[in-house]
Structures are given as C-alpha cells and as structure tokens.
Chains A and B, each alone.
Chain A
C-alpha cells in the first residue's frame, strides 16, 4: 500500500439541498491544491457532486470520504439507509425514484450512478435495504 497523503471526510445531511455542493467543492479545491491533474480533478468533482446529491435526495444522511495516496484518489460514499433494493435497476441510465420536488430542481433523471461509474476508473457499489449504501470509486493517478 502506498502511503496516504490525505484523508478527509465530509458529513452530508439528508434533505439539505441548500448546501448541496459544499462537500464536492471542498474535495475539488483540496485536489487542486495537491496538484492533481485537472482532468482527474474534474472527474472526481463530477462523481463527488453526483454522490453528494444522491446522499441529500435519497439517503437518510451519510458521508463522503476522500483519500489520496501516491497512486490514486479514492472517494467513498457511505450512508445510513434506506438502501437500494435493486442495484441492477439503479445503475440503469434513466431509472429514478426521485420525487417531483427534486425534478423541479433539475435532478432526478436517473443519470447519477451511471455517470459516477463512467467517470471513475474503478466503481463498486454495495447496498443493504434498511442498512445503507456503500460506494467506492477509485481514480488512478497514472
């Protein structure tokens, strides 16, 4: 294992649309400061923002954790439920359970998880109904 350069965790509250983007902006600024190449920063920022919005809309609250080592940037999304019944469906572009209130804000098109998967080099999702969802995204630095 490569030495960890940085580890930072951000709490994300359920329903807190007001501050949506704060955690992702923090993650983006941190990576820029560390001198991570801009193309990678952008991909991590997109994945972080999609994760953050999902935590706000769909979860009962959770966290985003950024870890950087010499080889990769790792982003982990963790929440306290409600979990996803069918991961297969959730990963399909266009599949969404977002309510109309969320749609009127411009979200809820069912594009988030596929977009996270597309931007990350490695993507892993585990979910247990009534327990929570755990997503690990890794971005290779070289």
Chain B
C-alpha cells in the first residue's frame, strides 16, 4: 500500500517525507510498547503508535521500518522530526485512535504481521 493512499485513508498530515508518497509498505503493526514492536513487527511494515518519543524512531531504525503513523492526534517533537529526517523515514499524524486507524487500513487490505494476520 502506498504512503500517499495511507495518508488519505487516515486523513493524516505527513510531517516528514512529503515527497515519498510512492513508498510502499506490505504490512502494519500497532502498539505503544516498543518491546512488542521489536518482537512482532516485520520489515517493510508500517508502525502505528500513540507513543511519542525519540525511541520510537530508534526502534524503527533497527527494524528497517520506514513509516511511522502517530495516532490520537499526537505531534512529534522537533527532535523526533530531525531523527526521522536523518534516516529518510516517513512520519505522519492522524486524529484517529489506534483502533480506528488500524481498522481503516485493514479494511483497505493492509494486513498484519502475524501468520494469520
């Protein structure tokens, strides 16, 4: 699924990587727990999270996760924006909750990261 489509489905604002709308992800994972992100996410995935901290970017960097969607209207700090820019990541924010944003993307065909997701 293309980043530009994801942003439009979620009515999200792209904060970092506005010119990377054609970038595609093949699955998604949602959690506020970085411990679980490290244990469950696959590469080429998108992360939906309500946790706003620089560790979200560092965690995604380790996992080759290039797209971060902050939910519940959370705005990343300047430090997060800079870290993401340095790593060529895409960051967006949506007013939807984690549950709603996940549901919308799932309904449009973006699968999860478990074997039967």
A28-B33 contact given A49-B38, A105-B53, CB 8 Å threshold:
no
Instruction: Indicate the size class of the contact surface on chain B.
Output: 10 to 19
Chain B residues with CB below 8 A from A42, complex form: 43, 63-64
Q: Does B25 interact with chain A (Cβ within 8 Å)?
A: no
Interface SS, A side: helix
Q: Does A81 interact with chain B (Cβ within 8 Å)?
A: no
Instruction: Indicate the size class of the contact surface on chain A.
Output: 20 to 34
Return A51 CB to nearest CB of chain B, in Å: 11
Chain B residues with CB below 8 A from A48, complex form: 62
Residue interface mask B45-80, A partner, CB < 8 A = 1: 000000101011011011110000000000000000
Q: Does A59 interact with chain B (Cβ within 8 Å)?
A: no
Verify B34–A28 contact, CB threshold 8 A.
no
Chain B residues with CB below 8 A from A118, complex form: 39
8 examples of A-B residue contacts, CB within 8 angstroms: A21-B61, A24-B62, A25-B62, A45-B63, A49-B58, A49-B59, A112-B35, A115-B39
